[in-house]
Amino acid sequence: MATRSDPGAIGSTTLMPFWLISGEVGREEARLLSRRILGRAAAREAAAPDLPLPFAARCVLTTQPDIGLRSCFAPAARWTWPAGQGGEAPRHILVRPAEGRVVIRQDERRIALKAREAAVLALDCPAEFALGQPGRIDVIELDPALLPLSGDKAAGLMRAIPRSNPGLQALSHYGALLLRGLLPLNSLELQALAKVHVHALIDAALSDREPAAPLATTDRRAGRLAAIKADIEARLERRDLGVEMIATLHGVSARAIQKLFESEGRTLSDYVLERRLERAWHRLVTDGEGITISAVAYEVGFGDLSYFNRCFRRRFGRQPSQVRAQAAREEAGA
């Protein structure tokens, strides 16, 4: 929903982040939001009065082509999703508040979701949402051809999927990578496969209803560290990424985060720097002459080009321009 340029059919050569912007949001505000979330500007389309955004949000991050993913920023405190009507309306949606709490009502049914929990709803009747501390709510419009929700699967509707659910955790991180354009899906086949993956992860989340077995201390530590690294990966472009942000996201102290990385003999800052440099290397190698060094530095979270060049040379023994030039030569000779 909520697009005029009709990117609904998969057909573009590259999957890209795409902003749907409320008419109340100016260009400068939209540009700043895009840089804060993506680390760069993305394609933009202003919403018209006849083009309502989900949750009456000020901004919605989706993809072009549209594969059904939505991150809705600054949603309304109260909003009603109408019942699905017509062939283009979604029959089912998955909703996940990224922060705060949301209460959902459909007829006599009611469910309350805490931050980073999720639920799948059937849109056979209107769904009323009441959001506490509204900041962002994520939505996936399901394709019935990829995930038929009937029989045993229907029993999982309108039920909370806990944030610890492995399928939901994998879905959250995979969706974040897709929305930020961090996966090189530059063919029709890969884009179609991404939709299949998203629905398979939703299926896994709905199917796994057994409470998790108690884990040994070392397993819990390894699991938490893996979740933290996945959150870092999805936020590398943010220059304010640091121990305080991650500690707040996971509801633990900054010291607890640092102790997890100390078990690997490094700090969180060391890990973030390593991942930013490795992502920069990948961008330079895959895009070659099609991107500037400064653009790469900014996209991976560096605010100072000189510092980026020094760190890159220290890590790889070559300047970014040398890596880009070699990649271009190899591409030309292929």
The whole-number pLDDT of residue 88 equals 62
The answer, as to whether pTM is greater than 0.85, is no
Domain boundary residue among 161, 184, 207? 207
Strand partners, 130: 78, 103
- Strands 136-141, 109-114: pairing is unpaired
Residue 27 shares a structural domain with residue 138 = yes
What crossing angle do the helices spanning 166-179 and 217-233 adopt, rounded to 10°? 20
Residue 151 shares a structural domain with residue 64 = yes
Residue 303 shares a structural domain with residue 325 = yes
Residue 92 shares a structural domain with residue 202 = yes
Q: The CATH number of the domain where 286 resides is what?
A: 1.10.10.60
Q: How many domains does the chain have?
A: 3
pLDDT digits (tens, 9 = 90+) for 146-195: 988 876 667 778 899 998 888 998 899 899 888 888 787 888 889 999 99
Strand partners, 140: 69, 94
The two tokens of residue 258 are 């640092």
Residue 185 shares a structural domain with residue 243 = no
Residue 151 lies in a domain: yes
- Domain interval for residue 296: 270-333
Contacts of 76 (CB under 8 A, 6+ apart): 55, 56, 57, 131, 134
Residue 298 lies in a domain: yes
The whole-number pLDDT of residue 137 equals 93
State which H helix or E strand residue 122 sits in.
strand 119-122
Residue 9 lies in a domain: no
The whole-number pLDDT of residue 199 equals 95
The whole-number pLDDT of residue 313 equals 93
Residue 108 shares a structural domain with residue 188 = yes
Residue 258 lies in a domain: yes
| Phi, psi (rounded to 5 degrees) for 97 | -70, 125
The answer to whether the beta carbons of residues 180 and 237 sit under 8 Å apart is yes
Return the SS3 of 108.
coil
The whole-number pLDDT of residue 218 equals 58
Within 208-319, residue ranges assigned H as helices are 217-233, 243-250, 254-262, 268-287, 293-299, 305-316
Residue 259 shares a structural domain with residue 276 = no
Residue 165 shares a structural domain with residue 257 = no
pLDDT digits (tens, 9 = 90+) for 64-90: 888 999 999 889 999 999 887 655 667
The whole-number pLDDT of residue 186 equals 81
Residue 244 lies in a domain: yes
Contacts of 266 (CB under 8 A, 6+ apart): none
Cα maximum dimension of the chain: 66
Q: Which of 294, 322, 290 is nearest to 306 (CA)?
A: 294
Residue 5 lies in a domain: no
Residue 28 shares a structural domain with residue 145 = yes
Residue 203 lies in a domain: yes
Residue 11 lies in a domain: no
Domain boundary residue among 185, 207, 229? 207
Residue 81 shares a structural domain with residue 143 = yes
Neighbour-count burial of 214, counting CB atoms closer than 10 A to its CB (0-12 exposed, 13-18 middle, 19+ buried): exposed
The answer to whether the beta carbons of residues 96 and 148 sit under 8 Å apart is no
User: Burial letters for 5-44: b for 16+ Cβ neighbours within 10 Å, e otherwise?
Assistant: eebeebebeebebbbbbbeebeeeebeebbbebbbeebee
Residue 167 shares a structural domain with residue 66 = yes
Residue 35 shares a structural domain with residue 156 = yes
How many residues are listed for the chain in this entry?
334
Note down pLDDT in tens along the chain; length 334 residues. 443 334 344 445 678 888 888 877 777 777 777 766 666 666 556 555 456 789 999 889 899 888 999 999 889 999 999 887 655 667 899 999 988 889 999 988 999 999 889 999 998 899 999 998 778 899 999 998 998 887 666 777 889 999 888 899 889 989 988 888 878 788 888 999 999 999 999 999 988 765 555 545 556 677 788 888 888 888 888 888 899 988 887 888 999 999 999 988 899 999 999 999 998 988 888 776 667 899 889 888 898 999 999 999 999 999 999 988 887 777 766 5
Q: How far apart are CA 150 and CA 161, in angstroms?
A: 18
The two tokens of residue 107 are 């007829």
Q: The CATH number of the domain where 190 resides is what?
A: 2.60.120.10
